[in-house]
Structure 1
Amino acid sequence: MIKVKTIARKNPQDLQAPEQFYLHAVKDGVVDFERLAYLISNQSTVREADCLAVLNALQHNMMDELAQGRVVQLGSLGNFQVGIRCEGSSLPEEVNASKVRSAHINYRPGKRLRKALLGLEYKLISG
C-alpha cells in the first residue's frame, strides 16, 4: 500500500495563479543492500554474504558501464543510462564539454515493473 498525502504547489509559470493541490507519495522506509541480501538469501540456497557480494559487484559494474556511456539493462527491472544537464549556446561551435553542468541517471522501468505499478493501492494519510 502506497501512502499519499495532499500538498499545495504554485504554478512556476504563473506565480500569481492560486495554488493547486496534488497527491504526493510518502516514503515508508529504506531498504539497503544488506536487507536485500538477507531477503534474497531467505528465498534461495545462497548465503547472505554471497548475495551481498553479488549486489556490490552489480553496483560496481553498473557504475563502470555507465561511465563508458553504455545503457545498463537489468532485465524486467529496466534500463539505466547517464543523462546530462548543460548550458545552451547560441552557436553550435560554442558547444563543448565544459558546458555540462551536471550528470544524472535516467531510469526506464521494464514492462513487468510498469505492469506492477498498475496494480498498486493507495492510502491517503494526513499531512
Structure 2
Amino acid sequence: MSIHYKLYQKPQPGVAGGGVKKWYANAVLDEELTLDDLVKKIEKFSSFSEPDIRGIIVSLENVIKEEITNGKIIRLDVLGSFYPSLSTEGVDNEEDFTAANIKSVKTIYRPGKRILEALKGINFRKKA
C-alpha cells in the first residue's frame, strides 16, 4: 500500500514578498470510491446481498444525520467517531455572545485504532 504525493512551494505567511519559501507535500488522490463500489467490496467480505448492504449503509447515514444534528457523538468502535464542531466569531464579553456569532457547523471524523494502525504502515511515493 502506498500513497502518492506531489510537492508544492508555499511562502511564509505574513511576510512581505513571501519570505523564505518551503516545500511541502500534498497527497495525490487517484480515484474515488462510490457507494456502488463500496457495496461490491463489502459483498465480498460478507454473506449479505447487495440490497441488504445498500439498505444498511443508507440507514446508518440517516441515523448519523439525525443524531449528529442533536449534538451527539457517533462512536462506531473500530471505524471511528463522528461529532459536530462549531466555528464562531469571538466576542469580548460572554453576555454578548449569541447564536448569531456561530458562523458554521461541520462534522469531525476521528478514525478508530485499526484505521490509524493501517495508516502507520503506508509507504509514500512521489508522483511524477
Question: What range is the shorter-chain TM-score in?
Answer: over 0.9
Aligned to 1:69: 71
Stretch deviating more after TM superposition (42-51 or 7-16): 7-16
The percentage of aligned residue pairs carrying the same residue is 26
Letter in 2 for 1:8: Q
Aligned to 2:7: 6
- 2:91 is aligned with 1:89: yes
Query: Hey, what's the Cα distance between the residues in 1 that align with 2:94 and 2:36?
Result: 48
| Structure 1 segment 112-127 matched on structure 2, within 5 A | 112-126=114-128
Question: What is the Cα deviation at residue 119 of structure 1?
Answer: 0.1
Question: What is the Cα deviation at residue 9 of structure 1?
Answer: 1.2
Question: What is the Cα deviation at residue 10 of structure 1?
Answer: 1.9
SS of the aligned residue for 1:46 comes to: coil
SS of the aligned residue for 2:24 comes to: strand
Equivalenced residues, count: 126
| Structure 1 segment 31-50 matched on structure 2, within 5 A | 31-50=33-52
Structure 1 residue runs without a partner (length 5+): none
Deviations 1:53-98 (A, max 9, x none): 1001111110111001000011111111100111110111111111
- 2:106 is aligned with 1:104: yes
Question: What is the Cα deviation at residue 2 of structure 1?
Answer: 0.5
SS of the aligned residue for 1:93 comes to: helix
Stretch deviating more after TM superposition (79-88 or 102-111): 102-111
Task: Compute the TM-score of the two structures, normalised by the length of structure 2.
Answer: 0.92
Structure 2 residue runs without a partner (length 5+): none
Letter in 1 for 2:96: E
Task: Compute the TM-score of the two structures, normalised by the length of structure 1.
Answer: 0.93
Letter in 2 for 1:105: T
